[in-house]
Amino acid sequence: MITRVSDEPVSKTRRKREMTELQSLGAALAGLPESQLDQMQLEAKLRQALLDAKRITSHEAKRRQIQYIGRLMREVDPEPIRARLAAVEGRSAQAAAAHRRLEAWRERLLADDGALTEFASEHPRADLQEIRSLIRSARKEQKEGKPPRAYRELFRVLKTIETAGSLQG
């Protein structure tokens, strides 16, 4: 009789490693905001267990809940969930990088008048008059210690320009 690989018993160490990986995946899912959990297309029982884990504050109770989530994850195929989680985390990393890039532009524009020329060369469709006005207002706010209304508005305008440029390019 020929035995196939799937007929061979799985070692206890391997099963334990797989369970730990599923628990880690469950813990990562539990760390996501509820809006992103909705996009994950999870089974109702698993989704509810993840939402419950978010509300639990006790360390030991949370550990048990993550174990329960790992047990529930045995009943579903984890690969599509891993792929969706990687996509969500990738988008978050990209969004954070874009945010940092825009903040750097804002700081350069406020610190150096020549930075506006560089920004204009990279974004030819930008309304330079509006940006100049916001830079002046933001500098004045900083100098007088006023609330950063123009400072924030400058960021919004830069973000709009960057988004419009990425859609066209």
Instruction: Annotate 99-128 with b (16+ C-beta within 10 A) or e (fewer).
Output: eeebeebbeebbeeeebbeebeeebeebee
Outline where 31-77 has alpha helix (H).
Answer: 34-39, 44-55, 59-73
88 compared with 69, residue with greater pLDDT: 69
End-to-end alpha-carbon separation of the chain, Å? 62
Tell me, yes or no, whether 128 lies in a domain.
Answer: yes
* Residue 64 to residues 20, 55, 113, Cα–Cα distance (Å): 13, 13, 57
Shared domain check, 46 and 99: no
Shared domain check, 164 and 99: yes
Shared domain check, 119 and 68: no
Asked if 137 and 150 touch (Cβ cutoff 8 Å), the reply is yes
Tell me, yes or no, whether 88 lies in a domain.
Answer: no
Tens of pLDDT along 128-155? 999 999 999 999 999 999 999 999 999 9
Tens of pLDDT along 94-127? 878 888 999 999 999 999 988 999 998 988 888 8
Shared domain check, 70 and 103: no
- Number of domains observed in the structure of the chain: 2
Confidence at 2, pLDDT banded by 50, 70, 90? very low
Q: Given this model, what pLDDT does residue 109 score?
A: 92
Tell me, yes or no, whether 40 lies in a domain.
Answer: yes
Tell me, yes or no, whether 85 lies in a domain.
Answer: no
Tell me, yes or no, whether 3 lies in a domain.
Answer: no
Shared domain check, 72 and 100: no
Tell me, yes or no, whether 81 lies in a domain.
Answer: no
Selection from 118, 140, 29, 126 nearest residue 82 by Cα: 29
Shared domain check, 154 and 99: yes
Q: Which CATH number covers residue 32?
A: 1.10.60
pTM flag (> 0.95) = no
Q: Which CATH number covers residue 139?
A: 1.10.60.30
Tell me, yes or no, whether 59 lies in a domain.
Answer: yes
Shared domain check, 146 and 104: yes
Look at residue 156 and tell me whether its pLDDT is greater than 80.
yes
Domain residue limits at 62: 12-76
Tell me, yes or no, whether 24 lies in a domain.
Answer: yes
